[in-house]
Amino acid sequence: MTNREDVSTPRRTKEIIQRHGFQFKKSLGQNFLIDQNILAKIVDAAGLDETKGALEIGPGIGALTEKLAQAAGKVTAVEIDQRLLPILEEVMEPYGHVTVIHGDVLKLDLQQLFAEQFGDCQSVSVVANLPYYVTTPIMMNLLEAGLPLENIVVMIQKEVAERMAASPGGKDYGSLSIAVQYYSEPQLVCTVPPSVFIPQPNVESAVIRLKVRQTPPVQVKDEAFFFEVVQASFTQRRKTIANNLKSRFFSGEGRERLEALLAEAGVEPSRRAETLSLQEFAVLSDVLYAAGLTV
């Protein structure tokens, strides 16, 4: 479609930045990717083709956007930094199926955006190099919104990616692991060194793919209460699950009642939250909910 040098090469990235007099804003977590192999892995993980759409969050100067445009039938990119809009307009000029929206993805009506932008697509995936300071709110917003998503493939801080994909029993496993795995099946794609970014971040990164579930892997009586029980169980990681739940749900002399409910759920009071599986949390929350405990 175009014979121009790829945006993601270090030489062209620097040329675009200098020509437009662009200054990086630390407050927006701007780190531009300059590695062709990593970009290819990100796009491959999304499984795109001409029948599918891609939503990109924080396109920067369009390095990933360009690769998405070559793989997907429709690309919509949401950019919060107004200074990048003229750069994106220039870079995306050869691609008529790319739309750039100026806005904050956390404030947009995503259901409306999907209806307007991806009505003709068989499926849609979110593909993005996310600003690290706002990774978790964006990810949870996407997962909780009930959007018709196939995959979420994102570059995020390695430590956060490991927490999302963690299994029970380890130090990385926590309430974030359970929330992400309730809505999706996470898989680490690759780790990414700081050296492939301009400017270089202070942390290692990772690409993670979340295959969005059509239905949760467990059925619970009350979803909000389920997540409340999970959060309460991890309040202080060194405490037993009995102590954490007692602090949240039982005032005064509630220990005996709590231990009876834990026994009903098949959970030893001395266990820590990090040892419980998603299924065990589902059983526990249903037992507590049936006992009349509320958020």
Is 31 flagged in the annotation as binding? yes
Report the distance separating Cα 117 and Cα 97, nearest Å. 10
Q: What angle do CA 145, 132, 93 make, to 5 degrees?
A: 80
Q: Do 84 and 60 meet the contact criterion of CB atoms below 8 Å apart?
A: yes
Is 3 flagged in the annotation as binding? no
Question: What is each CA distance from 108 to 31, 53, 142, 148, in whole angstroms?
Answer: 23, 18, 11, 16
Supply the DSSP symbol for 122.
S
Extract the tokens encoding 138. Answer: 């964006």
Q: Do 269 and 244 meet the contact criterion of CB atoms below 8 Å apart?
A: no
Q: Do 111 and 8 meet the contact criterion of CB atoms below 8 Å apart?
A: no
Kind of pairing, strands 52-57 and 123-129?
Answer: parallel
Question: What is each CA distance from 255 to 34, 128, 153, 240, in whole angstroms?
Answer: 56, 47, 44, 13
Extract the tokens encoding 147. Answer: 């959007």
Beta strands in 47-198 (DSSP E): 52-57, 74-79, 98-102, 123-129, 149-157, 184-192, 197-198
Is 37 flagged in the annotation as binding? no
Name the one residue in this structure whose structure tokens are 């949760």.
216
Is 33 flagged in the annotation as binding? yes
Binding residues for S-adenosyl-L-methionine: 31, 33, 58, 79, 104, 129
Binding residues: 31, 33, 58, 79, 104, 129
